[in-house]
């Protein structure tokens, strides 16, 4: 089939998300109408589309790279891990189940039908769809009911690129081994490799690239160099900021401590703070780190009650109470806001019933079965603010002052709104208030546009693809599909790894209805070149 390919990876966090975004950016620059797609995404970073669907933030970032509006079809299955080794299953933007690993496998037949329908829908409306895999395609224990990697590629006949992270070492073994663990029909779709995060001498790498191509019969289509400071939305747990990690201005005069909760979600809320000159955002899990900060942020969480218990177990509740009592700023966002309440009643997410909150805001939280998904707007500090909200907890406010559908009491703020700091005027006004309250010399420096910062980062990805990927070969794959005659590399997957079936014993049929014919890309965009 023309007009689509799959970006798979040797491991999680190998670079699938950023390569997908880079290809989308490069194609969009050529005048191609391109959409991103991820069949199954496990992430606690999510967003709400204009039509009210919840999808992974990485697909939102990729849609921005493509210059198109994000939509539910771009991420039909989203898994949101929670406490007790269970995940909320979000299908086409709406929660449909809470499942453990074995429960989830029983759902996959139904989910795969929806995945294929979503992909066919996008392919009928866009010139090109760039699909991102999940984890590794060589997870042979999961191949029988895979819906995100080679199961998807086989059903939709997608040419597949395998990207590997050379910075973590062992990239040649990982690429060869990934291919060699696939059964013949899957290997026939793997058309080439991409090396990611390279920061050495290219001349020293070249012999290995040639040997890999000789061993596998497949070309290395590019070597993407390491780039610092991209700061793009991540989804994989390996991309989560670790305790002690600092982002933004390392020598910043305004110090923000973000509590590194175990089920931290939507930590992208803090990216805009880190982009502001003079602001350092540090992820912390020790009481002394809260005492030293100018602003403490309790971010979102997928498991409010479990993370509240963790917070108390780490003795972080004491410093938060001291801050509130002495007028030192604390901000809670979504799940963090819920923790600041006087009382939490949760029969939905944790089943814990009534739980005492931190009692720093005059609020009662009651969890509802229905999830609130929305894109609210309002005014704070005299500035327009737009955000998005994703939560089961419903807040009843009985005091304080209004703040973005939440409230403020003294120097403690709480809101259900994610993305508020992406509003430039509001972000600067809020930080100026924080600085004044703690006597910090910080002041806004210039008119930083966070939207422009993101666009520049996406342009870097497009430049990397244009300069370091064999874009002629990329276009051939999109126009012609998987190359014929690719050699099989033994041993292949164990017998039966690809299994009979997601739904009742028969493999999913190829997706053909409503898809462009071979050559569609070239005929619709005849002047595409290998460089912008």
Handedness of CA 222, 226, 227, 231 (dihedral sign): positive
Residues 41 and 77 sit within 8 Å (Cβ to Cβ): yes
Residues whose CB falls within 8 Å of the CB of residue 207, separated by 6 or more in sequence, listed in order: none
Find the catalytic residue in 334, 392, 407, 468: 334
- b/e sequence 512-528, b meaning 16+ C-beta within 10 Å: eeebbeeebbbebbeeb
Which run of H or of E encompasses 354? Answer: strand 353-356
- Burial of residue 334 (number of CB atoms within 10 Å: 0-12, 13-18, 19+): buried
- DSSP string of 153-207, one letter each residue: HHHHT--EEEEEEGGGS-HHHHHHHHHHTS-HHHHTTEEEEEEEEE-S-HHHHHH
334 catalytic, yes or no? Answer: yes
Angle at which helix 450-468 crosses helix 57-66, to 10 degrees, equals 70
Please say if 418 is a catalytic residue: yes
DSSP 348: S
**CB atoms inside a 10 Å sphere around CB 282:** 22
- Alpha-carbon distance of 23 to 127, in angstroms, equals 13
Residue of 392, 418, 468, 520 with catalytic role? 418
**Which residues have a catalytic role annotated?**
334, 418
């Amino acid at each position: 089939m023309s007009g689509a390919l799959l970006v798979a990876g040797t491991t999680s966090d190998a670079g699938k998300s950023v390569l997908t975004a880079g290809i989308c950016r490069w194609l969009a620059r050529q005048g191609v109408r391109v959409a991103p797609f991820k069949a199954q995404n496990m992430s606690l970073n999510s967003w709400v589309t204009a039509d009210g669907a919840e999808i992974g933030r990485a697909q939102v970032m990729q849609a921005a790279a493509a210059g198109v509006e994000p939509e539910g079809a771009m991420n039909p299955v989203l898994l949101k891990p929670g406490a007790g080794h269970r995940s909320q299953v979000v299908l086409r933007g709406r929660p449909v189940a809470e499942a453990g690993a074995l429960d989830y496998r029983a759902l996959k037949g139904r989910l795969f039908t929806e995945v294929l329908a979503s992909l066919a829908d996008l392919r009928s409306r866009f010139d090109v769809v760039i699909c991102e895999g999940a984890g590794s395609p060589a997870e042979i224990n999961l191949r029988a009911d895979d819906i995100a990697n080679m199961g998807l590629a086989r059903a939709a006949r997608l040419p597949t690129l395998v990207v590997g992270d050379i910075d973590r070492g062992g990239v040649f073994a990982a690429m060869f081994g990934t291919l060699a663990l696939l059964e013949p029909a899957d290997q026939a779709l793997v058309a080439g490799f991409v090396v990611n995060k390279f920061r050495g001498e290219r001349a020293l790498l070249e012999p290995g690239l040639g040997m890999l191509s000789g061993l596998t019969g497949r070309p290395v289509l590019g070597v993407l160099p390491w780039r610092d400071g991209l700061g793009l939305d991540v989804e994989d747990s390996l991309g989560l900021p670790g305790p002690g990690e600092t982002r933004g201005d390392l020598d910043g005069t305004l110090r923000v401590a973000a509590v590194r909760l175990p089920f931290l979600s939507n930590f992208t809320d803090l990216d805009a703070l880190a982009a502001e000159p003079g602001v350092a955002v540090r992820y912390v899990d020790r009481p002394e780190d809260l005492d030293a900060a100018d602003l403490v942020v309790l971010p979102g969480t997928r498991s409010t009650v479990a993370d509240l218990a963790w917070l108390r177990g780490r003795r972080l509740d004491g410093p938060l109470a001291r801050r509130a009592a002495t007028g030192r700023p604390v901000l809670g966002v979504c799940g963090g806001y819920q923790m600041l309440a006087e009382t939490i009643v949760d029969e939905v997410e944790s089943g814990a019933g009534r739980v005492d909150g931190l009692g720093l805001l005059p609020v009662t939280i009651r969890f509802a079965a229905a999830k609130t998904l929305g894109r609210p707007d309002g005014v704070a500090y005299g500035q327009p603010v737009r955000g998005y909200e994703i939560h089961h907890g419903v807040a009843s406010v009985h005091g304080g002052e209004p703040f973005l559908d939440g409230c403020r009491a003294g120097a403690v703020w709480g809101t259900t709104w994610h993305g508020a700091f992406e509003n430039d005027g509001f972000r600067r006004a809020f930080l100026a208030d924080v600085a004044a309250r703690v006597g910090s010399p910080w002041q806004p420096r210039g008119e930083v546009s966070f939207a422009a910062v993101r666009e520049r980062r996406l342009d870097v990805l497009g430049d990397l693809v244009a300069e370091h990927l064999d874009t002629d070969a990329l276009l051939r794959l999109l126009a012609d599909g998987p190359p014929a005659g690719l050699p099989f590399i033994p041993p292949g997957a164990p017998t039966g790894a690809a299994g009979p079936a997601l739904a009742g014993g028969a493999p999913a049929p190829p997706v053909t209805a409503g898809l462009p014919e071979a050559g569609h890309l070239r005929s619709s965009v005849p002047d595409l070149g290998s460089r912008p």
